[in-house]
Amino acid sequence: MPVLKESYKSILNDLLNKKVDLVAVSKTKPVEEIRELYELGHRDFGENYVQELVEKAAQLPHDIRWHYIGHLQRNKVKYIVPFVYLIHGVDSMKLLKEIHRQGEKAGKKINCLLQVHIAREETKFGLDESEVNEIMHQSAVDPLNHVQVLGLMGMATFTENMDLVRREFRMLNTLFSSLKNKNPDFSILSMGMSSDYRIAVEEGSTMVRIGSLIFGDRN
Ligand SMILES: *Cc1c(COP(=O)(O)O)cnc(C)c1O
């Protein structure tokens, strides 16, 4: 299926005026479709699976900024650290330490976001507020020099209830703002997907992750 160019352009237009970055989520989509969007000038792409990301990155131009947005297992960190632009889903201190360790080996500083659990569902990964504060506290006391925590990421409940979605995004933005006061590096609030990105933007998102509105439904 071809890229939904009109839809892509209208999202881009929508976000441009608001200074919100767009990550095009290309999981399960072939490299040809990524290239199609690349040729329109797009550079930020998001993937959920390590092996898929590694294979695609090898076949595509090196100036693509790859966002890892899935759940990351510690034993797989080493495969993406050499080239990843931003890891959105950091959900434990152990994982952050492993990213630091691999960053050190690669001689790089890896950009990360802490994933916060804001949804009602039990299954979604992420930290609660006190765990986020604990990680930020520990990183202040004993800095990990090869990671840079740039902000937070979250996913709202999968529901038709847009009031609930809005409340969850608002909660995340409140936490983000309070951390931003103490952490000058904090600049990214990654929230909003195809079904809820407009609400996310209204509630302070600085980066949305959109798949199906750009690439069509996934198989
Ligand atoms: C798949 C995915 C997206 C994109 O979802 P769409 O509904 O297709 O826009 C965004 N964020 C994460 C974490 C995802 O896994």
* Cβ(81)–Cβ(106) below 8 Å: yes
Residue carrying the six token digits 């309070």: 178
- Please compute the mean of the pLDDT values over residues 187-208 and round it to a whole number: 98
Structure tokens at 2: 């071809």
Residues 147 and 89: their CA atoms lie apart, in Å, by: 13
Q: pLDDT digit string (tens) for 55-72? A: 999 999 999 999 999 999
Instruction: Evaluate: CB of 48 within 6 angstroms of ligand 1.
Output: yes
Closest atom of ligand 1 relative to the 27 alpha carbon: 1
pLDDT score, position 122: 73
| Structural contact between residues 197 and 189, judged by C-beta atoms closer than 8 angstroms | no
User: Is the Cβ atom of 210 under 6 angstroms away from ligand 1?
Assistant: yes
CA dist 65 and 8 (Å) reads: 18
More confidently predicted of 123 and 173 = 173
Of 3, 158, 165, 193, the one to substitute when testing ligand 1's pocket (max ligand atoms within 8 A of C-beta) is 193
User: The whole model's pTM is what?
Assistant: 0.96
| Confidence band of 123 (pLDDT split at 50, 70, 90) | low
